[in-house]
Amino acid sequence: PKYKDKPIDSYVQVIMITMWIYAFISFILILFDTTKTTLLTTFGSVSAVIILIFRDTILGFVASIQVTVNDMVRIGDWITVEKYGADGDVEEINLATVKVRNFDNTTSTIPTYSLISDSFRNWRGMLNSDGRRIKRHILIKGGSVRFLKDEELEKLKRIEFISSYIDKRKQDIDKFNMTNHVDKSLAINGRNLTNLGVFRKYIQQYILSHPGINKDMLLMVRYLQPTEKGIPLEIYCFSKDKKWENYEYIMSDIFDHVVASINYFDLELFELQPAKNQTDFTL
C-alpha cells in the first residue's frame, strides 16, 4: 500500500518487455541454431531501427525514473497541463502515457515524457500547505478617488472596523500639518486621508476578521499598476479550507461584501458600457 501513489506500472511493463525480448531471442537461437554472439552482432547492425521502433518506450522509461526519483508526480496528484488540456487527478502512469481524470469527468491522456520535457502545474504543495491562495482584484474608477473632508471622516468613524484607525490617522495628520504650518485652504496641501486609502484599510480589517482566512499566512490588500480600466485593488490572502467548493464560497463571500461596501466610501466600480451605436464603448 505504501507504493500505491508510485508509477509501478512503468517498471512492470519494462520487466515484461525484457522477458518478451529474452523469449524472442531464445526462440531465434533455437530456431536457427545460432549463437548469442552472432545474434547480438546482427542486432547491433540494426540498432538504429530498434531505437526508432522503441523510441517512445525508451523515453517513457527514462521519464518514469525521473518522475519517481524527483517525486515530480504521484498517482492521485492534481495536475494541470495546459498544452494537453489536462486539469484533474492522475489515475495512472505507465511507460507511454499518463492518464488524468479531469474535473468534468473527461479523461486526458498525455505522453509520459511530457512530464519532464514540458511545463505543468502540480497542486500537491497547495493541498499539503496550511491554506489556498486567494488572489483577485476589483477595478476602481480613478475619477471617484478624492480627499476626505472632516465631516465625511466623522461619518466613516461609525464603521467599526476603521473607527480607531481614522482617529489615530487623523491625529497624526493634524499634528503634522500644524507643526509644518500647512495651508489647509486647499485640500491637496499637507497630508490627507483619501476615500480609497480608507476603503483599502477597511477591506484589510474585514479580511482579518473573516473566520475562513488563515491569519498566519501572508495577507495584504494592495494596488496594482493602474490601467485604462481603472485602479486595480487586489486582495491577497489564504483560505483555511482548501476544498474547491468551500474555497470558492469563502472567496465569493469576501467579494460580495467588498462590492457592496464600495458605495459607503463614495467610490465607483469600473464597468464597460456599450455606446448608443453599439459599435464602440465608453467608460
* Tens-place pLDDT, residues 225-277: 999 999 999 999 999 999 889 999 999 999 999 999 999 999 999 987 766 66
What pLDDT is stored for residue 45 in this prediction?
63
Q: Is the pLDDT of residue 223 over 60?
A: yes
Question: Torsion angle, CA of 52/53/54/55, rounded to 10 degrees?
Answer: 40
* Tens-place pLDDT, residues 111-125: 888 888 888 889 888
Distance (Å, whole) CA 263 – CA 195: 11
Could you tell me the residue ranges of all domains in the chain? 8-124, 132-265
For residues 24 and 32, the answer to whether their CB atoms sit within 8 Å is: no
Q: Is the pLDDT of residue 62 over 70?
A: yes
Collapsing DSSP states into helix, strand and coil, what is residue 132? strand
Sequence letter at residue 281: F
- The CATH number of the structural domain formed by 8-124 is 2.30.30.60
Identify the helix (H) or strand (E) that includes residue 156. Answer: helix 150-156
Alpha helices in 55-149 (DSSP H): 55-69, 114-117, 124-128
pTM exceeds 0.75, yes or no: no
